Amino acid sequence: MTKAAFDETFGYAPYAEADARAPYAAVARWLASSSDAHLETRRRQAELFFRRIGITFAVYGDPDAQERLIPFDIVPRVLSGAEWSRLEAGLVQRVEAINLFLADVYGPRECLKAGIVPEELVLLNPQYCLPQVGRRPAANVWVHVAGVDLVRTGPDEFHVLEDNARTPSGVSYMLENREVMLRLAPELIETMSAGGGLRPVETYPDMLLETLASVAPRGCPGEPCLALLTPGIHNSAYYEHSFLADKLGVELVEGSDLFVRSDILYMRTTEGPKRVDVLYRRVDDDFIDPLAFRPDSVLGVPGLVRAVHAGNLTIANALGTGIADDKAIYSYMPEIVRFFTGRDPILKNVPTWRCREQDSLSHVLDNLHELVVKEVDGSGGYGMLVGPHATKAEREDYAARIKAHPAKFIAQPTLALSTCPTMTAAGIAPRHVDLRPFVLTGAKGVSIAPGGLTRVALKEGSLVVNSSQGGGTKDTWVVDLPDEPEGC
């Protein structure tokens, strides 16, 4: 039986009977003084704002909703400065370990020799990038932009749900959500800032630009030229690609805008070819260079990998980082963190059963009605089973899939994800949330925008927060409270 969810505003008490926790005190007062009609007006204004500037998300496989708005909730999610300090320390530790792990599996493979991770799980993994073996990117940084998904299960209990080390998305929504709140709830933000201090997220583009420039290749002549590579307008995250290119002040390019000559990457401009030193790519490995990966790809650039290996180009994130996204690798992250940092993980994993192991497989098949089962290479909430919410027929069909290819699946307990007050058709009600902070790593170290993207499951009782599965987003506030002790 899943325990009762922790509500980040009122703890475990019913809404009508509890006082708000300190981080949410100002928000609770604001909600109490705002009528449902007022909040609904603000929600509609937010929707109009998003529609006018074109913030949409493509839903693959849904012919009736190819492009739609991601629902935005007007009630912010709040973390105190002390809560954030602990999360920040854990995120830095985890991303540093991921970078060291990637450097190792493409280099000396000490963690494989030590038995920390099974060799076959890495070397036979479809995401293991053979062209990267023996290679070292600039400053030995592999994951320049990481999105680490966190869930909360209690007052002081945070868990990492998964790591996103290839092309994590969602940061544009983090930035636009703050812009909307500044416009629609200035009085709440003013009150919150007066009570302590609302930490800004608006500096993220500058942080990202500095991070990318810091990892320019050694042979870069002068100030590095940066560009953002997009698959094009039909990609679900195209809005974000164009948004970030604009905020960074760099060119948004497609594969057809680029070419490689003498192992140097150039982009076509009205003034002639211009050298590119750092390419922030939002294209997966398989499609980025038809000479090294899929020969039928028209999204990438022939010769791109040669330019990287010649030391003339930095790709962010580096090729081969997808191995760290694998959910089977995720299950070994506590051991990976200890091996590479010499310390216990600050942030815990969710307990995980690997179906590739016979004992775990038997447990999962016997308890599908209680578990969440995921494909090891899945993303976006696709291909997963939430056992308690599935029908008997759905569980039986999924069990057949697991039995056919057990190594492709992991399972986890159904967690009681924390809830936050959310505007619904019936008024303010608790809905489950997760959090994706964005962690930047460059030659000068690690930096994190305070907060991140909070995703909210808008359906009552639903634990699936992904935008592709009908979830929405909230602005995430990190607030320094008066007299709050610093640190974890």
Q: What are phi and psi of 347, to 5 degrees?
A: -105, 130
Q: Dihedral angle at the C-alpha atoms of 117, 123, 127, 132, nearest 10 degrees?
A: 110
d(CA 257, CA 278): 15
Q: Which residue has the tokens 């760099």?
A: 250
Domain range annotation of the chain: 351-414
| pLDDT tens-digit profile, the chain (488 residues) | 456 899 999 998 877 677 899 999 999 999 999 998 999 999 999 988 888 877 766 554 555 545 667 889 999 999 999 999 999 999 999 999 999 999 999 999 999 999 999 999 999 999 999 999 999 999 999 999 999 999 999 999 999 999 999 999 999 999 999 999 999 999 998 888 765 689 999 999 999 999 999 999 988 888 999 999 999 998 888 999 999 999 999 999 999 999 999 999 999 999 999 999 999 999 999 999 999 999 999 999 999 999 999 999 999 999 999 999 999 999 999 999 999 999 999 999 999 999 999 999 999 999 999 999 999 987 656 778 999 989 999 999 999 999 999 999 999 999 989 999 999 888 899 999 999 999 999 999 999 999 999 999 988 888 888 776 678 999 999 999 876 655 43
Task: Tell me what pLDDT residue 487 has.
Answer: 45
pLDDT at 65: 47
Residue range 351-414, CATH number: 3.30.1490.270
Measured at the CA of 286, the angle between CA 281 and CA 292, to 5 degrees, comes to: 100
CA separation, residue 448 to residues 46, 94, 218 (Å)? 26, 13, 25
Q: What is the pLDDT of residue 263?
A: 97
Q: Which amino acid is at 183?
A: R
Q: Helices (H) and strands (E) in the chain — how many of each? A: 15, 23
Rounded distance between C-alpha atoms, residue 278 and residue 213, angstroms: 7
Question: What pLDDT shows up at residue 66?
Answer: 54
What pLDDT does 190 receive? 87
Q: How many CA atoms lie within 13 A of 256 on its CB side?
A: 3
Whether 350 and 412 have beta carbons less than 8 Å apart is answered as yes
- Are 122 and 323 in contact by the 8 Å Cβ rule? The answer is yes
Task: Please name every residue paired with 447 in a beta bridge, in sequence order, or none if there are none.
Answer: 440
* Token code pair at residue 216: 């320019």
Q: For residue 40, give the H/E element and its range.
A: helix 36-53
Q: Which whole-number Å values give the CA distances from 19 to 16, 99, 158, 454, in the listed order?
A: 9, 43, 23, 23
